[in-house]
Amino acid sequence: MHADAKQFLSDFLAQLTIEKRASQYTVKSYKRDLNCLNTYCESKSISLWTDLKQTDIRTHIASRHRQGLSSTSLQRELSAIRSFFNFLLKNRLADNNPAQYIKAPKQVRKLPKTLDVDQVKGLLEAGTSSIIEIRDVAMFELFYSSGIRLSELANLDITDIDLTDKSLMVRSGKGGKSRILPIGNNAITGIKTWLEQRIKNAEKNESALFISMRGKRLGQRSIELRLEQWCKKKGISEHIHPHMLRHSFASHLLESSQDLRAVQELLGHSNISTTQIYTHLDFQHLADVYDKAHPRAKRKFI
């Protein structure tokens, strides 16, 4: 690519970071996606972004699809390309957005795997035998109690937890949005027990709620591995990951309340269509609601 084209890409990524305040994950993903487009351009001897046509974007996305990328990943790549060209348009560095009307191949949306209430109870009430396990159960309880994301839990500081108010503050959720979440009694008990141990191991000035035995913030991968180890120790053969506890939280809450908007707020979904994946309630319940609510569905018995 031409030197100017590379500079435009650097400027776009800088704008994402500084002006848009996008998360590190978003910037990293966009950079990777646009580097893939750059590789395509080089293979076709395209030196300027403005030389890209709609057919080029279609060819590129089709090639990525053949490489095995999912519809979700392709949609993200297209989103990155659209955003980049919108940046070029805004700065009068391009005349059109070649990705504007291109859609990724559709993919059947799978229902998330969840645990039933008894399985969750067995997982969380298995008993602890060490400081590490006390910390781990506090984390697992918090996942299921609040529906918090893995990245959000890893980023929690002590000051984000209010044990008196039984709530926590997610300061930088997905899309940079903050939200306040309630915490259940079992999670509160687990966190209190953990805090008694944390104070003995935390490094000076370490603000993280969950720390390793070295006294530093626990990373996302370490949290995943601890859940795997916990399940193995308790003889649970099924692969359970932190997001499954989030899914279970959403599913159980929705089944009990039927309040989709409330669950959307708790999960931090910007679009309710994302939350609707949890509406796998049985048909009989839906039929009962219909019969009771629809003015011309009232059944008459003779």
DSSP codes of every residue in 21-35: ---HHHHHHHHHHHH
d(CA 5, CA 16): 17
Residue 126 near residue 190 (C-beta atoms within 8 A)? no
Q: Which of 20, 65, 166, 174 is catalytic?
A: 174
pLDDT interval class at 282 (50, 70, 90): very low
Express each pLDDT in 189-237 by its tens digit.
Answer: 999 999 999 998 899 899 999 999 999 999 999 999 999 999 888 888 7
| 278 has catalytic annotation | yes
Is 70 exceeded by the pLDDT of residue 274?
yes
Q: What percent of the chain has pLDDT over 90?
A: 51
CA angle at 189 for the pair 184 and 191, rounded to the nearest 5°: 95
Is 60 exceeded by the pLDDT of residue 170?
yes
| 285 has catalytic annotation | no
Q: Which of 30, 40, 144, 278 is catalytic?
A: 278
| 149 has catalytic annotation | yes
Residue 280 near residue 251 (C-beta atoms within 8 A)? yes
* Cα separation values, 26 from 22, 70, 87, 140, 174, Å: 6, 18, 16, 26, 9
Express each pLDDT in 43-74 by its tens digit.
Answer: 999 999 999 999 999 999 999 988 988 888 89
**Nearest residue to 181 (alpha-carbon basis) of 242, 265, 278, 113:** 265
Q: What is the pLDDT of residue 302?
A: 43
Distance of CA 8 to the CA centre of its chain: 29
d(CA 90, CA 237): 53
Positive or negative, the CA dihedral 14, 15, 16, 22 is positive
**Nearest residue to 122 (alpha-carbon basis) of 231, 206, 263, 220:** 231
Q: Which of 76, 149, 217, 226 is catalytic?
A: 149
Over range 231-260, report the average pLDDT. 85
| 25 has catalytic annotation | no
| 239 has catalytic annotation | no
> What is the second-level CATH architecture of the domain 3-90?
Orthogonal Bundle (1.10)
- Indicate the pTM of the whole model: 0.61
Which of 32-36, 109-113, 248-252, 296-300 has the weakest average pLDDT? 296-300
Amino acid identity, residue 142?
L
Q: Inter-axis angle of helices 242-257 and 260-267, to 10 degrees?
A: 160
Tokens read off for 9: 């890409």
Q: Which of 135, 246, 247, 252 is catalytic?
A: 246
d(CA 207, CA 155): 10
Q: Which of 60, 76, 217, 269 is catalytic?
A: 269
Mapped onto helix, strand or coil, the DSSP state of residue 168 is strand
Domain boundaries, the chain: 3-90, 117-280
Sheet holding 161-162, edge to edge: 161-162, 167-170, 179-182
Express each pLDDT in 85-118 by its tens digit.
Answer: 999 999 999 999 999 988 877 766 666 788 888 8
Over range 118-138, report the average pLDDT. 90
d(CA 198, CA 28): 32
Q: What is the mean pLDDT of the chain?
A: 86
| 269 has catalytic annotation | yes
Best CATH choice for the domain 117-280 from the list 3.40.50.620, 3.40.50.300, 3.50.50.60, 1.10.443.10: 1.10.443.10
Q: What is the pLDDT of residue 31?
A: 93
